[in-house]
Amino acid sequence: MRDLSGKTALVTGASRGIGRAIAERLAADGARVIVHYASNDDLAKETVAAIESAGGQAYAVKAAFEDGVDALFEGLRGERLDILVNNAAILAGVLGTVSEEQFDRVFAVNVRAPYFIIERALPLLNDGGRIINISSAVVRIALPDLVYSMTKGALDTLGFSLAPLLGDRNITVNTVSPGVTETDMNAWLRADDGTAERAVTEVTALGRIGRPQDIADAVALLASEGSRWITGHVLDVTGGYFLG
């Protein structure tokens, strides 16, 4: 399917994990993809190379969001955008281990950056465009990284509140909430004899850990023409994690 031919997508945090899978999937659907990353030059190059070797178009832009989003916008090549995926995020730590500086850093990357990226991207975003923010199932499941969870709650609110403001331009704003997904963020999954993985799969309706491609496919769905009537929505993409 080449539903996104002629469109340009900016994906933050696309050097690895879920962001890379999103970048590759949107490129496979025909979009030209801007691959944002923070510091891993080699991994960002790998994402671009994977897209190009599959016949797609991409380039990388480096920007650490603790320092704001100027570097991201300076790295763009003057093009207009059709799809913005705010995916980059970092963890904080459990109660009692997070300094005020770390708290501010996590909010800067997970909340301040998406907000100002959206604000700065809006004049570049074509009517009929898509904004997709990557949140987390932690918004509905109590987990001990309180600061990270709080940032994702803020992102859910941002999507819901922003959608009505952009309806007159036919720009949809949706939120995708993954569950536990196999990425660097979840190194704890592989840190024991399989107990952690079993504990997650036992409470997941579909009985396995999520893969980055599972999330990318849901993002592609929301980026597609077929999702034109969906906005202000939070989509649970967890395989049915903790349904009770």
Using CB under 6 A, list all residues that contact ligand NDP.
Answer: 13-19, 37-40, 43, 64-66, 87-90, 109, 134, 136, 178, 180-181, 183-186
Let me know if 59 is a catalytic residue.
no
d(CA 86, CA 90): 12
Minimum distance of ligand NDP from residue 189's CB (angstroms): 9
Can you say whether the dihedral through the CA atoms of 58, 61, 64, 67 is positive or negative?
negative
Closest listed residue to residue 132, CA positions, set 45, 16, 35, 218: 218
The residue among 184 and 225 lying less far from ligand NDP, judged by its C-beta, is: 184
The residue among 38 and 218 lying less far from ligand NDP, judged by its C-beta, is: 38
Side chain identity at 243, as an amino acid letter? L
Minimum distance of ligand NDP from residue 179's CB (angstroms): 6
Minimum distance of ligand NDP from residue 71's CB (angstroms): 10
Closest listed residue to residue 169, CA positions, set 122, 134, 133, 132: 122
Q: Select the residue whose beta carbon is closest to ligand NDP and give its number.
A: 17
The residue among 131 and 228 lying less far from ligand NDP, judged by its C-beta, is: 131
d(CA 233, CA 80): 25
Residues carrying an active site annotation:
148
